[in-house]
Amino acid sequence: MARVVFLLRFCGLEPANGAPVGAVTEMRSGQRLQAVDFWMRNPDYLADALIDDEEADGRADGVALAKQILADREPQLRRLPMTKWRFGAWEELSDVLAPLLLGGLVVHQPTVRGDRTVAEHDYWLMPEGRDFIDTLLAAEPKTFGWYRDRAELIATVAKDTGGSALKARQYKRIEYASTAGMALIPPITDAVQTRLESIEAAAA
Amino acid sequence: MSSFSEVVAMCADATPERAGQVMDEMGIVLQPQPAAPVPLKITRIAFSGTKAPSGADPEPFDVDYSFEDGLTAVTSEKNLVGKSTILWLIRWALTGRRPADLADDVREWIEEVTVEGVVGTECFVVHWTLRDGATHDGSLTTSDGAGSSFSGQPGFAEAMGAFMLDRLRLSPTPWWKSQRGGSAGEGAVSVHGWPSYFPALLVRGDQVGVLLGENFEGGQAVTLLQVFLGLPWALTHQSASTVLKDLSHKQEAANRRARDDAKARDTVLKPTRDRLAAVTRELSSLASSPGAVSPDDADARVQAFATSAAAVATAAEQLAQAQQDLEVARADADELTKQLSALREDAVIVPLIGRVRPVACPRCTTEIAEERRAEEKSGNCMVCVVRIEAPESEAAAIDEEAGLAKAAQGAVETTIAAYAAAKAVHAAAVAANEEARSNVDAVSKAAETTARTRALQIERARLEGRVEQAGTVALPPAEEDDRQAVIACARAEAERRRAEGAKNLLEELGKEIVYVAHRFGFSQLEDASPKLNASLAMRVAGKDSNFGRRSPGEKLRLKLAMVIALLRVGERLGIGRHPGLLLVDSPGGEEMVELDVGNVLKELDDLCKELPHLQVVCATARADDVRALLPDERIIHGPDWIEVW
């Protein structure tokens, strides 16, 4: 639950037109939420993405941050593996979102097609949700501070990219892409470690 | 006066026991004084056969003569008609050996011979038959009842030699027989027995070369002089001299063999020694060449590499185990840490969420009615109207989980330490292995040198073995021992004692020789000095002379004088060993034209009367002289005085 609220808070965008009154952030599409959640649950994939960004001249601290993630053993301590569904990593968030929606911390709006199937789920973090986060941070700054920092970092990688594009980016990693349906997506910690070592060796 | 052994021991710097032992072992005869002389006489000779001269009819003969003490003459006017036969048959009978001088045809005529005699007080009879001129069989019978039969010449000679030596109480004399044509010291020990002594009983007109006996062989005259003069310690001296020569000879021979052997060995070993020197040089140069690795070192390095490689394998295994342990420990710790984090999150979130007031149904988003809100006051959920239990405190669970996580982290730290230690061990093993590898690389680089060194070392060991082997089987030079010193001292002491005993004896003998020689008509002899070496220095008509320079007639007279003098001195001084039988053959032969045989016979006859133990048998062709001097019973002659038989 903490994960989702922090992601909505820091990876959400400015509320657009049509947003509920008072909304703090807007998470347009559940797909984007699943994508940023994947990065939070798999620090090695995030580290890989950070390195990609640095190599693509997108940022200067990608490699250093990736290195720190591995040094802190986050892939081992923070990993929450995700199952690959038909269209990539996905997990049912209804149970997590239920109390948030119930309490009015988050507002949910599905876009329904003509055949009554849902085309898109959109989420807004409401002021009550922002207060909830502040309460968490006040109660356990160390525990919940990590979620805040990590969500902020993921935001720098996800930027305002849409859910499909983020998923497409994550698919570029062969381990992700080659995972069979309904199987857990495997860690790539060793590969990232090797990547970092070869970057260091090249720099030396 | 000290005993002989004591004197020898002192001289040789040995104990008397040791000196005695050496002399005994080496067969040195300690004979201070020879036994008293034993007289020997011939009493009868008989022989028969068939005369078969060429161109004449065979004619049987049967001859039998008796002998008295004193002078007996065997005579015939013609030569070669049997007078010497009598003497040679006596010689044959007494020695058992057929005399070479016995004419071939004559001995082939004879079929049977009997000679009788007396030795000491014992009568003896020698009887033998002949076949083709040689001994066939025969017997020796004595009055004591002892007797033996024999067949062939060896048996005859053995029987007579043993009998005569024993009865005449003579000892065999050892002597050193030099090897003909050999270098100085070459030769062997021989023994003078009865056949060598017999010539002292013989004076031949045709052989006057030596003072005593027949010839020069083996120092015969010297031996005969010493034996028949009966000198004290003479046999001791002779045996010691012989043994000493034998010892020296054997030592020299052993030394020479050792020298020859060493020389031959050196020659054979030279290529081996040369090769050994070359191999040693090359080994030393290889050892000092840069980067050289000795074979032993190379083996050690290869072994070290193998050991270090095994150590690396073991360390790697242990490191892998440590790593696995670490991974397991970390996984445990990580899991606990995750759970702890989750607990901590829940501890904050769950109560917070619990305090959130629902605004709408989460299922259909319909706003919650006011009456439902009132349910909360009754302690029920406003959404599903279920009783809400106060949430349990998570604090205890968190504490427990934190404790577990901490313990797990401690285990991780421990495993990390173990892993670090294993890693260090592995690193050290790898480093050692790398070093061993570089050492082995050096071995590989020096492989050719090392292989060469190894091959040379093997060759050197083989060559050294060969040289050493040659040394162990080499003939050792003769060992120096105390025996030579003892024997040399024995000889010196025996010589001293013999010389002492001979001093007066030789002087007396010289006087007698002059006296007897004068009676034989050698009136110009003024002085005679016989020596122990059987030489005879003399003064003749005011001039120094010696036996060898005198005429045959004078030599004959001197030889006769020598034997007679021996007997007279022996008689007078109670010494001397001559048995008193003298066979004289042809004193007036063709070379003796100047000799007055009649006078010689007269003097022999007179001397026989003076010396009761003397018996002389003289064969001569001067029948007239004999008849003028001797009665008929003292003359053996043929019926016609021309032929004896």
Q: Chain B residue with minimal CA distance to A72?
A: B334
Exposure on the CB side of residue B568, measured as CA atoms within 13 A? 22
| Residue B349 Cα, gap to closest chain A Cα (Å) | 7
A76, A98, A132: residue with CB nearest B362: A98
What is residue B78's predicted lDDT score, i.e. its pLDDT? 64
Most confident option among A126-130, B361-365, B638-642: A126-130
Cβ neighbour number for residue A140 with a 10 Å cutoff: 18
What is residue B514's predicted lDDT score, i.e. its pLDDT? 93
Alpha-carbon dihedral B289, B291, B294, B298, rounded to 10 degrees:
-160
Exposure on the CB side of residue A56, measured as CA atoms within 13 A? 8
Residue B156, both tokens: 């005859």
Q: Is the pLDDT of residue B443 over 90?
A: no
Whether B348 and A143 lie within 8 Å, measured CB to CB: yes
What is residue B590's predicted lDDT score, i.e. its pLDDT? 54
Give me the amino acid identity at B229: L
What is residue B218's predicted lDDT score, i.e. its pLDDT? 64
pLDDT tens digits along B214-257:
776 667 777 788 778 887 888 888 888 888 888 888 888 888 88
End-to-end C-alpha distance for chain B, whole angstroms = 61
Yes or no: say if A202 and A106 are a contact pair by the CB < 8 Å rule. no
- Give the helix/strand (H/E) hosting A121: strand A118-125
CA–CA dist B358, B340 (Å, integer): 29
Whether B349 and A2 lie within 8 Å, measured CB to CB: yes
- Categorize the per-residue pLDDT at B594 as very low, low, confident or very high, splitting at 50, 70 and 90: low
CA–CA dist B429, B312 (Å, integer): 5
Give me the amino acid identity at B157: A
Contacts of residue B361 in chain A, CB cutoff 8 Å? 102
Q: Quote the percentage of chain B above a pLDDT of 70.
A: 94
Residue B108, both tokens: 């082939």
Q: Is the pLDDT of residue A43 over 90?
A: yes
Judged by a CB distance cut-off of 8 A, whether residue A132 touches chain B is: yes
Best mutation target among A3, A94, A102, A146 (most B Cβ atoms within 10 Å) is A102
Mean pLDDT of B165-182: 78
What is residue B622's predicted lDDT score, i.e. its pLDDT? 81
Mean pLDDT of A172-185: 80
CA–CA dist B161, B154 (Å, integer): 10
Judged by a CB distance cut-off of 8 A, whether residue A101 touches chain B is: yes
Q: Which of A13-27, A117-131, A169-183, B623-637 has the lowest mean pLDDT?
A: A169-183
DSSP letters spanning B119-157: ETTEEEEEEEEEETTEEEEEEEEETTS-EEEEEHHHHHH
CA–CA dist A9, A144 (Å, integer): 13
DSSP secondary structure letter of residue B531: -
pLDDT top residue among A75 and B265:
A75
Residue positions counted in chain A: 204
Q: Which of B42-46, B129-133, B259-263 has the lowest mean pLDDT?
A: B259-263
- Categorize the per-residue pLDDT at A178 as very low, low, confident or very high, splitting at 50, 70 and 90: confident
- Categorize the per-residue pLDDT at B119 as very low, low, confident or very high, splitting at 50, 70 and 90: very high
Whether B356 and A105 lie within 8 Å, measured CB to CB: yes
Yes or no: say if B226 and B217 are a contact pair by the CB < 8 Å rule. no
Q: At which residue do the structure tokens 């001296």 appear?
A: B237
Q: Is the pLDDT of residue B167 over 60?
A: yes
What is residue B544's predicted lDDT score, i.e. its pLDDT? 93
Judged by a CB distance cut-off of 8 A, whether residue B594 touches chain A is: no
Yes or no: say if B570 and B561 are a contact pair by the CB < 8 Å rule. no
What secondary structure, in 3-state letters, does A124-153 show? EECHHHHHHHHHHHHHCHHHHHHHHHHHHH
CA–CA dist B351, A120 (Å, integer): 32
pLDDT tens digits along B549-586:
888 888 888 888 888 888 888 878 777 788 889 998 87
CA–CA dist A94, A99 (Å, integer): 9
Q: What is the CA radius of gyration of chain B?
A: 62
pLDDT tens digits along B372-381:
888 877 778 8
What is residue B424's predicted lDDT score, i.e. its pLDDT? 92
Provide the b/e sequence for B155-194 (b: ≥16 CB within 10 Å): bbbebbbebbeebbebbbbbbbbbeeeeeebebeeeebbb
Interface of B with A in 308-337 (CB under 8 A): 330-331, 334, 337
What is residue B183's predicted lDDT score, i.e. its pLDDT? 63
What is residue B156's predicted lDDT score, i.e. its pLDDT? 93
pLDDT top residue among A80 and B77:
A80
CA–CA dist B110, B98 (Å, integer): 13
Mean pLDDT of B50-71: 86
DSSP letters spanning B369-393: PHHHHHHGGGTB-TTT-PBPPPPPP
CA distances from B93 to B62, B169, B543, B617 (A): 17, 19, 44, 15
Whether A140 and B344 lie within 8 Å, measured CB to CB: yes
Judged by a CB distance cut-off of 8 A, whether residue B342 touches chain A is: no
CA–CA dist B404, B570 (Å, integer): 141
What is residue B398's predicted lDDT score, i.e. its pLDDT? 83
Q: At which residue do the structure tokens 């070290």 appear?
A: B304
Yes or no: say if B7 and B493 are a contact pair by the CB < 8 Å rule. yes
Mean pLDDT of A74-86: 85
| Residue B376 Cα, gap to closest chain A Cα (Å) | 14
- To the nearest 10 degrees (0 to 180), the angle between helices B295-355 and B395-445 is 160
Q: Is the pLDDT of residue B351 over 80?
A: no
Q: Is the pLDDT of residue B526 over 90?
A: yes
Whether B359 and A104 lie within 8 Å, measured CB to CB: yes
B330, B341, B359: residue with CB nearest A143: B341
What is residue B117's predicted lDDT score, i.e. its pLDDT? 94
Q: At which residue do the structure tokens 């892939």 appear?
A: A75
Q: Chain B residue with minimal CA distance to A3?
A: B345
Q: Chain A residue with minimal CA distance to B333?
A: A77
What is residue A105's predicted lDDT score, i.e. its pLDDT? 86
Residues forming beta bridges with residue B115, ordered by sequence position: B45, B126
What is residue B182's predicted lDDT score, i.e. its pLDDT? 59
- Categorize the per-residue pLDDT at B91 as very low, low, confident or very high, splitting at 50, 70 and 90: very high
Is 0.80 surpassed by the pTM of this model? no
Whether A103 and B359 lie within 8 Å, measured CB to CB: yes
Yes or no: say if B16 and B30 are a contact pair by the CB < 8 Å rule. no
- Mean pLDDT rounded to a whole number for chain B: 84
CA–CA dist A166, A160 (Å, integer): 10
Residue B267, both tokens: 């020659």
- Categorize the per-residue pLDDT at A60 as very low, low, confident or very high, splitting at 50, 70 and 90: confident
pLDDT top residue among B445 and B92:
B92
- To the nearest 10 degrees (0 to 180), the angle between helices B234-287 and B447-473 is 180
Evaluate whether ipTM surpasses 0.90. no
Contacts of residue A143 in chain B, CB cutoff 8 Å? 341, 344-345, 348
> Which of A151, A192, A171 shows the shortest CA–CA distance to A68?
A192
> Which of A73, A57, A52 shows the shortest CA–CA distance to A173?
A52
Judged by a CB distance cut-off of 8 A, whether residue A139 touches chain B is: yes
What is residue B185's predicted lDDT score, i.e. its pLDDT? 63
- Mean pLDDT rounded to a whole number for chain A: 86
What is residue A111's predicted lDDT score, i.e. its pLDDT? 80
Q: Three-state SS for B258?
A: helix
Residue B130, both tokens: 């002949």
Contacts of residue B331 in chain A, CB cutoff 8 Å? 76
What is residue A198's predicted lDDT score, i.e. its pLDDT? 92
